[in-house]
Amino acid sequence: MKIAIIGTGGVGGYFGAKLAQAGHDVTFLARGKHLQAMQTNGLTVKSINGDLKLDKVNITDKIRAIGPVDLVMVCVKAWQVKETAAELKAIVTENTLVLPMQNGVLAAEELAEHLPQQNILGGLCRIISKIEAPGVINHFGVEPTIIFGELDNTQTDRVQQLQQTLEQAGITAKATTNIQAELWKKFIGICVSGLLAVTRSTYDQVLEVPQTRQLMVELLTEIYTLSQRIGISIEPDLVANIMFSFESLPPNSTASLTRDVWEGKPSEIEYQNGTVVRLAQKYNVAVPVNRFVYFCILPMENRARM
C-alpha cells in the first residue's frame, strides 16, 4: 500500500514507522531539523512496546512531491488541518482514503471543504507519544490504537481492508459503525488537557487533590451533557470510565496540548475547550469549568501565535 504520513510527530512518526516496518511504501512529511535528521539517520521509535529503527525513510517537506497514494494519514495538529487540506488535493485520487487522526470533532468537516466527501473517513487515535529529539519518536503511554469508520456509519469493504492492513502492521485497530460517538468519547476525555495546563499539573497531580479532581469530573460532565443535547449516542457511565482510565496512566503523564501551553507554543485549545464553549452557546448548555479553562489559556494562546 502506498501511504502518505502528513505530519511526522508523535502520532505520525509512530504509526508511519509501524506501517513502513511492515513493508508498505510510506512517505513522511516533515520539516526543519526533524526532516534533516531523518534524511541522515532514518527514524527511531522508542516504545514501551518495543523499539524499532528505520535506517532509511522516504521523506519530503512538500506534499505535492509525494505523488498519488492509497492512504493519507493526516497527523498534523488540529489547527493545521485547514491549511493542509487544500494541498492534499495533489495526492488524492478517486480511490484514496483520507484518515484524519486529530483531537477534536472537526477534522473531517474541515477536510471536506477541499476534498471529496467520499474520500474521507472519520478517525482518531489513542497514544501518548512525542518527538523526543530530531528523528526520534518516544511512545511512553497507552496502547497505540486507531479507531475509524465511514462518516455515514455504513460498514464497507474498504474500512474492513484498512483494519486488516493496520492489524497486520501490529497496530491495534477498530472499525466502527458509529464514528461520531467514538470521536466524542475521545473529545470529552482530551479536553482535560486544558485543566492540566492551567493547574500546571500532571494527571496524577490533579487527581490526588480533591478539589482539582472534582473540577476534572465537572469539566467532563459538562461536555457529556453537551453531547447528549446534540444527540450523540454515548453510554451514561462514560465520565466514570474516563476517570478510571486517568487513574491507570503512568505517573507524570501529560497531554500534547498541556505541553504546548507550558512551552509557549500554539496549541489545540480552539479545537478542545474552545469548541466546547462555542457548541455550548449554540445548544444553550452551561459549561462554566470549560469556559474558565478556555479563557485562562486564551491570552497565552494569543501570545504564542504572535
For residues 144 and 211, membership in a common domain is answered with no
In order along its 306 residues, the chain shows pLDDT tens digits of: 999 999 999 999 999 999 999 999 999 999 999 999 999 999 999 999 999 999 999 999 999 999 999 999 999 999 999 999 999 999 999 999 999 999 999 999 999 999 999 999 999 999 989 999 999 999 998 899 999 999 999 999 999 999 999 999 999 999 999 999 999 999 999 999 999 999 999 999 999 999 999 999 999 999 999 999 999 999 999 999 999 999 998 899 999 999 999 999 999 999 999 999 999 999 999 999 999 999 999 999 999 999
Cell of 207: 487527581
Cell of 264: 509557549
For residues 6 and 145, membership in a common domain is answered with yes
How far apart, in Å, are the Cα atoms of 90 and each of 30, 69, 74, 116, 120?
A: 17, 10, 14, 13, 15
For residues 234 and 249, membership in a common domain is answered with yes
For residues 123 and 11, membership in a common domain is answered with yes
In the chain, the number of structural domains is 2
Residue that finishes a domain, picked among 177, 192, 224: 177
Residue that finishes a domain, picked among 131, 152, 177: 177
Question: Can you name the residues that pair with 227 across neighbouring β-strands?
Answer: none
For residues 66 and 127, membership in a common domain is answered with yes
For residues 109 and 196, membership in a common domain is answered with no
SS3 72: strand
Q: What is the pLDDT of residue 157?
A: 97
Rounded distance, CA 128 to CA 125, Å?
A: 10
For residues 154 and 204, membership in a common domain is answered with no
Q: What is the pLDDT of residue 241?
A: 97
For residues 21 and 156, membership in a common domain is answered with yes
Cell of 92: 488524492
For residues 281 and 147, membership in a common domain is answered with no
Residue that finishes a domain, picked among 177, 197, 230: 177
For residues 69 and 209, membership in a common domain is answered with no
The domain that holds 105 is classified in CATH as 3.40.50.720
For residues 147 and 6, membership in a common domain is answered with yes
The domain that holds 283 is classified in CATH as 1.10.1040.10
- Structural domain of 123: 2-177
For residues 129 and 6, membership in a common domain is answered with yes
